[in-house]
Structure 1
Amino acid sequence: MAFFEFSADPELADRDPYGDATLAYHPAIGYTQSLRRLRALGDGLPLAEWRRAFLNLPTAGDDKAAFDVAMWTARAIPEDDPAAQHRRPGDTVIAYDASRDGTGATIAAAWLDDDGDPVTVIAWSGNDVRELEPRLRYLWADGYRRIVADPTGPTRLIAETLAADGIGQTGAYSDYQDACQALIDRSRDGTVSHVQAGCVISAIDAARLRVTNRGVDFDAAKSDGPIDALRATALAVWAAGKYLSKPALQIW
């Protein structure tokens, strides 16, 4: 008796279900298919169907994701893309968040590309929440004046400590909800770009939505794991659109 299995590495698939390393297992690569061709064949599939049909992995729970990872991954750009290059502090917003269980924190940055659409990257993500405040103070000292957060959960204490020294700004719950809705909408209509980060992919898979009359947001309390990377990304994209928008051209 012999057993042959061709399936993607689960850990690689969780970090980046469409990445080259994840798809390298496929026996057709280099013979009848290319990595680009496989991704094209699965374009538009829900993540659960992609995992089942192309990665040969279980799909339990994927149908509950906050939004389709494929939609987000489709907006990824390479690190060496000119739009992804670091911007000056005055042209950049910083957003941060700490996980509810205290196991990690994330700092996201965002700016506008030549078309006026947000581009976001993960500036830092780590397992030690104690590193978050010093890093934010360093960014403030380095000239980054637009530093935003949703001051709830463990993030509240950090935000209040920084605010006491005049560092950063916090908003209302409605701002955070607007940020979550904006990220979903921009991902759907293609008006956001990002450098792919595994921590954001994992957070999208873990996130659960809270629906209100005003809109939706990523509910950290009900999610299946830490979503600080997703929350920080949503706030960064929203803040870039709010604070860095180019003035409209007026013709008299």
Structure 2
Amino acid sequence: MQSVDRALTILELLAADGQLGVTEIAGLLGVHKSTASRLLATLESHGLAEQLPDRGRYRLGVGVLRLAGATRSRLDVVQESRPVTKALATEIGETVNIVILSGRETLYLDQVAGTSALRIHNWVGKRNPLHATANGRVLLAHISDTERDALLAASVGSAGSLPRLTEHTVTSRAGLLAELEQVRARGYAVARDELEIGLTAVAAPIRGTDGSVIASLSASGPTFRVADRLDGVVAAVMSAAVAVSHRMGWAGPSRLSS
């Protein structure tokens, strides 16, 4: 923990001063020069610090921009999606969520409650399994095969299947992969009674400037209500996902597809 604290302090010092030498950093940290040098080497290996070739001094590396960009992207997608998700929640009366991939799970960034919701369940900040949710399937469907295989391998239990949350949860790897193919082909995912009995969700991908999927937009509600008008909910969710994608800088067509 002490090393982590010192490394973070170095980043703060570089941010404040712009450029510092090893001796200066060691003095400010109150450590030996060799300790400061090792910490800087570690930061440099991750692109968080870089050494100036002519003066031997250090400054912040471009890796800091990468991390900042990831945080900015999360903040931007919430801000840019809000007008769209509010309109969608009003249109269909169901709860609308913005979700991203975080580790082995989905992470809910934002939520707008629908007018038909009798009981509001706040999903913001919550995590859910990838395989049993519409959002999770959208996100799984648009990552590399290597990353997908690693995530599924980490989720498979001792019995060789994915966790069963309800009697309707798809638990076989082959079954889930077949479903992901469908998600890519049709441009949306549906999870009916798989996370919770009585809950159905429809999700579609949100794309960034380069066309990659950066988040998922979903609408969820009671199965009896959503299932009866599934086609309309799907069309509305896909249209909203396209609108948010355009607000995020995507220049693709008016309908999201693989």
- The answer to whether TM tops 0.5 is no
Greater share of strand: 2
Greater share of residues in helix: 2
TM-score normalised by structure 1 residue count: 0.27
| Structure with max Cα Rg | 2
TM-score (norm 2): 0.27
